[in-house]
Amino acid sequence: MVAMRRQTRRTFLTTVGAAGIAGLAGCAGGNGKEKSSTTSSTGSGNQETTSTKGSGEETTTENGTTEQPSGPQTYEGFEKLGAWSAVDGEGSLKKSTKMKYEGSQSAHVVGSKQTKDGMIHRVNFAEKPADFSNQNLSLAFKCTSHDFVKIGVQLYAPDRGHIVEMKRTLYGPKGKWVRVNLGVTSDMDPKRVDLSKVYEIRIIGRSTDPNTTKPIEFYVDDLKTVPAPEKGMVMLSFDDGLESQYTKAFKMMQKYGFSGVDAIITDAVFDDGFLTQRQMRDMVKDGWDMICHPNTQSVPMDQRPKAEQEELMKESQRWLKKYGYDGHKYMAVPKNVVGPNTFELAQKYFDLTLSFGASPNALPVIQKDTILSRMGTSDIKSVKQKIDHAARYKQLSPLLFHRIGGQDGVPEKKFENILKYIKNQNVEVVTLTDLKDKGMIV
């Protein structure tokens, strides 16, 4: 009976795919109501006319309907920087032909000596504002100055009183191109936000250390749009494979028909306070993913030699493969710090890597060179806001839990409150396997 429930769910997921399109972030109005992009048609008969916004194309068919691109489209390749400039007092902008992700060059930003932040913007849309309705955004980013940074993208939709902001915290990797699938973290006056009329785009980089004395230096390239799905998604993820994740979380989630993602420390399976294989298999039968969580103990992954990091990853993956857990394709980074070697190895051994990023993720997730961001759950008001953003902007909000119940865990009533809230919102609860089956990893 459990297997049938899972199969039915999978069948449904595969029929949805990326065909459903709703907002950038979901909806142009930011209020859950879908708005369609429009194109002008000068053709007749069976001709098709396309209008280009950036490098992505929309097609107007013979019956007058608008077809959005079905996959990622380059909106801005930064091949020409004439439309972009540094914000006054927030550093400098120039091209770089040495540091590039795609094409012949990228945008090179050096922060202000006063603020240490770097900020660039594009404002010259004139009478043709950027149209990000029915789209999510993704950007290639490289920081060469700091280990831990924050990147932000702001959309003035249509003005400074209606700003949609997408922030991401990156605990590494320094000096590597990372694909940031941007998710909305805040919105001003969301009922009046209009993402079909974006008159300014800002890209901001800053160190996570407010006391840094070094201006940030970073590069951006390959800003893409992806057609958003019909519905936003929430992921319930758990670290360490703790016993309470079966005795508390699993039992409570079953009542709502929710499955989760558990990052397993394989060395600890059967130890006191940790999951047993019988419990893990019960969870898998109910749709859960068991993924890799290498056992770094007291020495963080990024502080270990590359060979040690590789062996820890392979050891965790071998164990899950040996016992038949398909989640061996995915890894949650221990202690969330992604060093350059960690990033390279994760790209080699895993289909997708998860780490703390304090923000939602654009859907579909562009897989190459990305890190899937997870978010903390200590503040219930913040958690509900993240779920709301998933619903409103058709994005993925992965929530991160450890112990449920007990003195140092999330209180059971609080966890139940979160589950009830999710159930009552217009979102789907998904696992990593679900994302793949649904066509949400591209």
DSSP letters, 229-295, are -SSEEEEEEEEETBTHIIIIIIHHHHTTT---EEEE-GGGTTSTTB--HHHHHHHHHTT-EEEE---
Output the pLDDT for position 273. 97
Q: What is the mean pLDDT of each run of 10 residues along the chain (442 residues)?
A: 37 34 33 32 30 40 52 97 96 98 98 98 85 96 98 96 98 98 97 96 98 98 98 98 98 98 98 98 98 95 97 98 98 97 98 98 98 97 97 98 96 98 98 98 98
Q: Read off the pTM.
A: 0.85
- Element (DSSP H or E) covering residue 13: helix 2-16
**Rounded-to-integer distance, Cα 72 and Cα 54, Å:** 12
Token pair in block for residue 431: 């696992």
| CA 338, chain centre distance (Å) | 16
**Rounded-to-integer distance, Cα 112 and Cα 88, Å:** 9
**Rounded-to-integer distance, Cα 153 and Cα 201, Å:** 7
The answer to whether 166 touches 24, Cβ cutoff 8 Å, is no
Find where tokens 């320094």 sit.
174
* Residues paired with residue 148 on neighbouring β-strands, in sequence order: 171
**Rounded-to-integer distance, Cα 410 and Cα 420, Å:** 15
Output the pLDDT for position 67. 54
- 428: exposed, middle or buried (Cβ count in 10 Å: 0-12, 13-18, 19+): buried
Cα-based torsion angle of the residue sequence 119, 125, 129, 133 in order, rounded to the nearest 10 degrees? -40
Output the pLDDT for position 425. 97
**Rounded-to-integer distance, Cα 411 and Cα 17, Å:** 36
The answer to whether 237 touches 260, Cβ cutoff 8 Å, is yes
In sequence order, which residues have a C-beta less than 8 Å from that of residue 65 and are 6 or more positions away? none
Crossing angle, helix 380-393 and helix 412-423, to 10 degrees? 20
* Residues paired with residue 263 on neighbouring β-strands, in sequence order: 239, 291
Token pair in block for residue 405: 């119940």
Radius of gyration of the chain (CA): 22
CA angle (200, 203, 206) in 5-degree steps: 145
The answer to whether 259 touches 291, Cβ cutoff 8 Å, is no
Which domains are delineated in the chain? 74-227 (2.60.120.260), 232-437 (3.20.20.370)
Q: CB neighbours (10 Å) of residue 16?
A: 16
